[in-house]
Structure 1
Amino acid sequence: MPSNEESLAARALELVEESFITASGPGGQNVNKVATAVQLRLDVFALRLEPAVFHRLKTLAGSRMTARGEIVLTARNYRTQEANREDARARLADLIEQAQIEPKKRAKSRVNRVGKVQRLKSKKARGTVKANRGKVDW
């Protein structure tokens, strides 16, 4: 399955639309003149994901996914376009890889007979304590 994940991430990076915007943060006076922040847009429907993977991706993306099914990532941590581009692409690939991982099913636990008896006994004792807290009638 790792080859499938890699091919899906690679396919996603091919479908990405990049735009550069001016960023706040590091860069000094240069930050006002040069568009160093990167905004990636990926149409999730173009990936043709399985429904379970799509729902996991939608949950992981959270507010970064638009109503039209686009994931929008903005990277502005670095001073250069290239570093921000690499950061955004790595984050997108990581998001898609995380969505590929199927969570383990929870195994139901079961209390044995002795455990049930002990639990009911302690509940009875606690109820008795609470019942004895009432008003004392002389």
Structure 2
Amino acid sequence: MVVGSRFVVPGAELSERFSRSSGPGGQGVNTTDSRVELSFDVAASTSIPENLRARIVERLGGRLVDGVLTIAASEHRSQLMNREAARERLAVILTEASSPPPPKRRPTKPSRGSKERRLASKKRRSDVKKGRGGRYDD
């Protein structure tokens, strides 16, 4: 399974469990093991480069249980489609988690024109509120 252009996860590192799924399926819903739980041991994977593995483990810390990422798919009626959906979801999650962090924001100051517009807007708003006659202006 290809994850982005950075690394490839071999099928041998993935483990799948099948169980009965809730939802649509008619009479077959009670007999077919169409729900898929796909597990991938991120922390012990040899297919992910060390620097990316550390980044992925850090970013997915809340989703990992003992370094293992588990994804469940049960939205389709067939086991095969649920397997594909789980693998696609795993690829998306690993791609997002391994992407480099965004560049640091360069701090900027508001321009002179934007300051003037902001102050003029505040002044207009103040005048509107002053113009409202109230009973308690004494």
TM-score range with shorter-chain normalisation? 0.5 to 0.7
Which residue of the partner structure matches residue 30 of structure 2? Answer: 32
SS in 2 for 1:74: strand
Counterpart among 54, 60, 73 of residue 51 in structure 1: 54
User: Is 1:3–2:2 an aligned residue pair?
Assistant: no
Amino acid at match of 1:100: S
Relative to structure 1, the CA distance from residue 108 to residue 53 in structure 2 (aligned partners, 3 Å threshold; closer, same or farther) is farther
SS in 2 for 1:18: strand
30-39 or 41-50, larger mean C-alpha shift: 41-50
Counterpart among 86, 91, 103 of residue 84 in structure 2: 86
* TM-aligned CA deviation for residue 70 of structure 1: 1.1
Q: Which has the higher helix share?
A: 1
Q: Deviations over 1:88-136 (max 9, x none)?
A: 011001111111212322222234678789989x99xxxxxxxxxxxx9
Relative to structure 1, the CA distance from residue 15 to residue 110 in structure 2 (aligned partners, 3 Å threshold; closer, same or farther) is same
Stretches of structure 2 that go unaligned for 5 or more consecutive residues are: 123-136
User: What are the equivalent positions in structure 2 for 1:1-138 lying under 5 Å apart?
Assistant: 3-5=5-7, 7=8, 10-11=9-10, 13-47=11-45, 48=50, 49-56=52-59, 58=60, 62=62, 65-105=63-103, 106-111=105-110
SS in 2 for 1:72: strand
Q: Deviations over 1:38-69 (max 9, x none)?
A: 0011111122544233322x16xx4xx24312
User: TM-score normalised to the size of structure 2?
Assistant: 0.67
Which residue of the partner structure matches residue 127 of structure 2? Answer: none
Stretches of structure 1 that go unaligned for 5 or more consecutive residues are: 124-135
8 Å Cα contact 2:20-2:33 kept in structure 1: yes
* CA distance, structure 2, for counterparts of residue 104 and residue 77 of structure 1: 33
Moved over 3 A (4+): 111-120
Amino acid at match of 2:40: L
* CA distance, structure 2, for counterparts of residue 91 and residue 82 of structure 1: 14
